[in-house]
Amino acid sequence: MNLELRQLRYFLAVADEMHFGRAAAKLHMTQPPLSQAIQALEATLGAALFTRSTRSIALTAAGLALLPEARRIVLQTQNLPQLVQRAANGTSGHLSLAFVSIADYSVLPPYLREFRHHHPAVAIELREATSDVQFAALERGEIDAGLMIPPIPDHLAHLLDYQKVLSEPLILAIPDSLNRHKKPASLQDYKQHPLIIFPRKIAPALHDLILGCFREASLTPEIGQEAIQMQTIIGLVSAGMGIALVPQSVSNLKRPGVAYLNLPETSVAVEIGVAWRKDNASPVLRAFLDLLRTKDKPC
């Protein structure tokens, strides 16, 4: 079947006007070529679309069935340039984004809100994952980008690009029952309490940063529990299982029985950045990365 879009447009014009002469004028053509085009369409479809008399025409059952489908097809083709342009400039499409749990309390919500505001037609797929899982997903091409804790593993340095997004200090999370309202707080005040921390194999950079704070204070903490989710760590603190050093933004996670204290004695900061494959040419990804580069504090 060799069906032409032009024929559908001609059919719609006749169906709207219910008169070949008026339809031809609307299409800026003469009546004979229009009549021939409709006849060719009917021959292609194998059914009459109009009943004709000397005074009037009407749609047949086949014509009535074709009418809504012809409108849909013509409308879709009219929208194709906009669809292609949106895909080309990154205003529509798909973005697969992974994030470490601490990003959910800092950069992720405001950046997503800003990106959604400017790119409402983009479908965003989110998954929470530790940095090691994100690196593996990027290597396999399963995600477009990941908000993670650096560094990038040496064996992936040739494959991935990285951009810093946020750097924030570590603060102390303690059971509220231990809060003596001392300001400023000191690790020395809580050295007898076990430490709750990320496993090193899951988050080596963060694990080492936290233990480095204790070394700066000439302390060797007793590791009481390990957990891979920030909400789990704070839950264990709330249960009185120990203390934790967490990025400052985690204080946005309000949990009964937990107090957050600043640690002026330490200058250690946690960095969060975005990593992506160098060979990913997705316009949607580029639009998201442009947002991260140009917006220090998203709305």
What pLDDT is recorded for position 295? Answer: 64
Tokens of 111: 């950046």
Chain segment 141-200, per-residue pLDDT in tens: 999 999 999 999 999 999 999 999 999 999 999 999 888 765 667 898 899 999 999 998
Chain segment 16-37, per-residue pLDDT in tens: 999 999 999 999 999 999 999 9
- Under a CB-based contact definition with an 8 Å cutoff, are residues 271 and 195 in contact? no
Question: Residue 179: left if φ>0, alpha if ψ -120 to 50, beta else—which one?
Answer: beta
The number of beta carbons lying within 10 Å of the beta carbon of residue 250 is 26
What pLDDT is recorded for position 299? Answer: 38
The number of beta carbons lying within 10 Å of the beta carbon of residue 47 is 14
What pLDDT is recorded for position 92? Answer: 62
Domains of the chain, earliest start first = 5-88 (1.10.10.10), 90-166+271-294 (3.40.190.10), 168-269 (3.40.190.10)
Tokens of 120: 């409402």
What pLDDT is recorded for position 64? Answer: 93
Give the residues across from 123 on adjacent strands: 94
What pLDDT is recorded for position 194? Answer: 96
Question: Residue 93: left if φ>0, alpha if ψ -120 to 50, beta else—which one?
Answer: left
Could you say which residues of the chain have pLDDT below 70? Answer: 1, 80-92, 181-184, 295-299
What pLDDT is recorded for position 205? Answer: 86
- Under a CB-based contact definition with an 8 Å cutoff, are residues 117 and 260 in contact? no
Q: How far apart (Å, rounded) are the C-alpha atoms in residues 93 and 275?
A: 20
DSSP state of 219: -
What pLDDT is recorded for position 118? Answer: 87
